[in-house]
Every structure is written in structure tokens, then in C-alpha cells.
Amino acid sequence: MTIGILFILGIANFALHRAMLDSDHPLLASLPPALRANGGRLSLAFEFLILLLAMLLAANGWPSAAWVYALYTLINAGTAWVLLGGSD
């Protein structure tokens, strides 16, 4: 069950990450070019590694990894909401 929840949180993180990359927000200009190249594939790969690590740790008896990943998802959602949410 924990792995399933982490998987759903991972989908949310990927969606938030892609939305930020596609937003052309001025903050993205401060990122290193390697993280923005090829549509942000390197940053998405890093996102995948974070999810994979959380899933592996949770599957091997570290349930706190799931809580940390959930907190990470909440921080990502809050950041995306602030940056993408109608800052006119």
C-alpha cells in the first residue's frame, strides 16, 4: 500500500515538475542550462531518482521515507501553486 501511495505522489510530482518546466516562469532562467536542456530531462531524471529512492527505502523497512516524500510533494505543490497561481 505504501508503494502505491508513493507511486501516486510520484505522478503528482512529475506533473508539477512538467508544469513548472512548461510555464516559462522567469525563475527558470536562474537554473543551470543543463537542467533546462532537452525539455528538462536531467531534472526529470533527478525527480525519478528521488522517487525510486523513496520507494526502495519504504519497501525495505523505512516507512519514514514515505513521510519524507509526502512532505517533499507538499512542498512542491505549494511552490508550484505560488509560482503558477496567477501572480499578475
pLDDT along the chain (88 residues), means of 10: 95 94 84 81 93 96 95 95 76
Q: Which domain holds residue 21?
A: 2-25+41-82
**Euclidean distance between CA atoms 83 and 10, whole angstroms:** 20
Give Cα 85 distance to the centre of its chain.
Answer: 17
73 to each of 30, 33, 67, how far by Cα in Å? 22, 24, 10
What does the pLDDT read at residue 87?
A: 54
- The structural domain count of the chain equals 1
Residue 36 lies in a domain: no
Give the pTM.
0.85
pLDDT per position as a tens digit, 59-72: 999 999 999 999 99
Residue 87 lies in a domain: no
CB atoms closer than 10 angstroms to residue 83: 15
**Euclidean distance between CA atoms 72 and 12, whole angstroms:** 11
Residue 50 lies in a domain: yes
CB atoms closer than 10 angstroms to residue 79: 13
